[in-house]
Amino acid sequence: MVRTDRRGRRAAVPGSRSGQAQWATVDALVERVTAWFAHAARDLPWRAADRTPWGVLVSEVMLQQTPVVRVEPVWRAWMERWPTPAALADAPTSEVLRAWGRLGYPRRALRLADCARAIVARHDGEVPSGEEALRALPGIGEYTAGAVRAFAFGRRAVVVDTNVRRVQARAVTGVALPAPSYTAAERRLAVSLVPDGDEDAAAWAAASMELGALVCTARTPRCDRCPVQDLCAWRLTGFPPDEHAHRRRTQSWDGTDRQVRGRVMAALRTADGPVHRALLADAGPESQLDRCLAGLVEDGLAETDEAGRFMLPA
DNA sequence: AATGCGGGGGA
DNA sequence: TCCCCAGCATT
Instruction: List, for residues A136-175, the tens digit of each pLDDT value.
Output: 999 999 999 999 999 999 999 999 999 999 999 999 999 9
Quick check: A12 pLDDT over 50? no
Q: Chain C: nucleotides under 7 Å from a protein CB? A: 2-9
Task: Check: CB of residue A152 under 8 Å from CB of residue A134.
Answer: no
Beta-carbon count within 10 A of A232 CB = 20
Query: Under a CB-based contact definition with an 8 Å cutoff, are residues A226 and A215 in contact?
Result: yes
- What does the pLDDT read at residue A207? 98
* Closest residue to B7 (CA, C1′): A104
A273: three-class secondary structure by DSSP: coil
Cβ(A257)–Cβ(A295) below 8 Å: yes
Percent of chain A whose pLDDT exceeds 90: 88
pLDDT of residue A275: 97
A243 labelled catalytic:
no
pLDDT at A23: 81
Q: Count Cβ neighbours within 10 Å for each residue of A196-208 and write b for 16 or more, e otherwise.
A: eeeebbbbbbbbb
Residue nearest the C1' of B4 (CA based): A258
Residue nearest to nucleotide C1 (CA to C1'): A250
Q: Find all residues with CB under 8 Å of A214, minimum gap 6, and list them.
A: A40, A42, A222
d(CA A23, CA A29): 9
Asked if residue A2 has pLDDT above 70, the reply is: no
Section A16-20 average pLDDT:
42
What per-residue confidence (pLDDT) applies to A17? 43
Residue A237 φ then ψ, to 5°? -100, 15
The Cα-based distances of A211 to A40, A86, A186, A216 in angstroms read 9, 35, 18, 6
- 3-class DSSP assignment, residue A180: coil
Residue A76: other Cβ atoms inside 10 A: 12
List of domains in chain A? 23-40+158-247 (1.10.1670.10), 45-153 (1.10.340.30), 257-311 (1.10.10)
Residues A14, A15, A20, A25, CA torsion sign = negative
Q: Are strands A310-311 and A303-304 parallel, antiparallel or unpaired?
A: antiparallel
Judged by phi (left if over 0) then psi (alpha if -120 to 50, else beta), residue A154 lies in: left
**Is the predicted pLDDT of residue A9 greater than 90, yes or no?**
no
pLDDT at A245 over 80: no
**Strand B contacting residues by CB (7 Å):** A 65-67, 69-70, 102-107, 181, 183-184, 219-220, 253, 256-259, 261-263, 265-266, 295
**Confidence band of A18 (pLDDT split at 50, 70, 90):** very low
d(CA A303, CA A95): 14
Q: Are A283 and A266 in contact (CB under 8 A)?
A: no
Check pLDDT > 80 for residue A242.
yes
Q: Which of A60, A142, A199, A306 is the catalytic position?
A: A60
